[in-house]
Amino acid sequence: MRRALRLESNVHRISAPGTERAVLMRDRWGPERGSMVALEADENETRVLIAFVYQQDSTTPELEIASFNGPKSHVIVGSAAAVESLGAILWRSRIEYTMLNVVTFKEPKIPIETCSRSGMWSVPTAKLIADHTCTPVYVGDTVERIETDLGQATWIEAGSNSSITDYEDEFWTQPNVPDHTDAYAEDKFDLLDGVYPAPITAYNVPSKLVAMAGWIAPKDARTRIVLHMHWHGQTLPILFRGLPSAKHAGRIKDATW
């Protein structure tokens, strides 16, 4: 008679405090974490490769097949040294393979604000990422924390079809306005003025580039610049190099962007 554990028992088996499968592997596995490599080879070829590695160095811990995914798909596991030796052999062969690297978490070098209620993470962990996947997203809390830390700032959003800068306005306690009163010469381009359509129109920028730039309306008091990286860098020169002087107005071509 076939039997199976109840769902509740299975969940307890892999997630009960102190006995989680990942925790046990981390704490009880030992210093040798091992490595894995996925092969596009049949079972016979896979076993021949394992035997060949052992023949080259009999002191190397033996490799083994961890997963029989299909007739020509297998995963080999073993010590890091043994898998490295196998990799050297595979590199000279015609067999397709993929080294399955372990995910490594490190302390970020720049501040990273997650859309969580409790604040940013000092060091991301597997548990934090798993919990974050199952909890609500607190965009407002995150924007308020950034405003508290940085004050008035120009927001740059990089991504494809991004929309965060379109609805974070209401979270600001005060508008983000330019904090300088310096007078600019006629032939200079002010980056802060670049968020308004007028200066862009004055320079006769190709209409398709103006449409892609995503400039906000003059009525918006905040300075907000939106970058979309899938535009192949066409808008980046506006932000980091500015526009040419006024005497060159009307001469901007697609190739110069």
| Beta-carbon count within 10 A of 87 CB | 14
Is 83 in contact with 36 (CB distance < 8 Å)?
Answer: yes
Q: Which residue did the predictor score with more confidence, 134 or 107?
A: 134
**What value does the mean pLDDT take over residues 91-120?**
78
What span, in angstroms and rounded, lies between the C-alpha atoms of 94 and 165?
49
pLDDT per residue as tens digits for the range 37-93: 999 999 999 999 999 888 887 777 779 999 999 889 999 998 888 888 888 888 888
State the Cα–Cα distance between residues 169 and 165, nearest whole angstrom.
Answer: 7
Of 134, 195, 138, nearest in space to 164 by CA = 138
Is the pLDDT at 108 greater than 50, yes or no? Answer: yes
Helix (H, G, I), strand (E, B) or coil at 68: strand
Domains plus CATH for the chain? 31-100 (3.30.70.250), 105-151 (no CATH), 152-257 (no CATH)
- What pLDDT band is residue 23 in, cutting at 50, 70 and 90? confident
Query: Distance (Å, rounded) from C-alpha 236 to C-alpha 229?
Result: 9
- Sign, Cα dihedral of 112, 114, 120, 122: negative
Residue 168 in contact with residue 139, Cβ under 8 Å? yes
Residue whose tokens read 């962990």 = 125
Share the mean pLDDT of the chain: 65
Contacts 24+ apart (CB under 8 A), 63-72: 66/36, 68/43, 69/38, 71/42, 71/43, 72/40, 72/41, 72/42
Which among 37, 120, 43 has a CA at the least distance from the CA of 77? Answer: 37
Cα separation, 78 vs 65, whole angstroms: 9
Q: At what angle do helices 80-91 and 43-56 cross, to 10 degrees?
A: 110
Tell me what the mean pLDDT of segment 198-206 comes to. 42
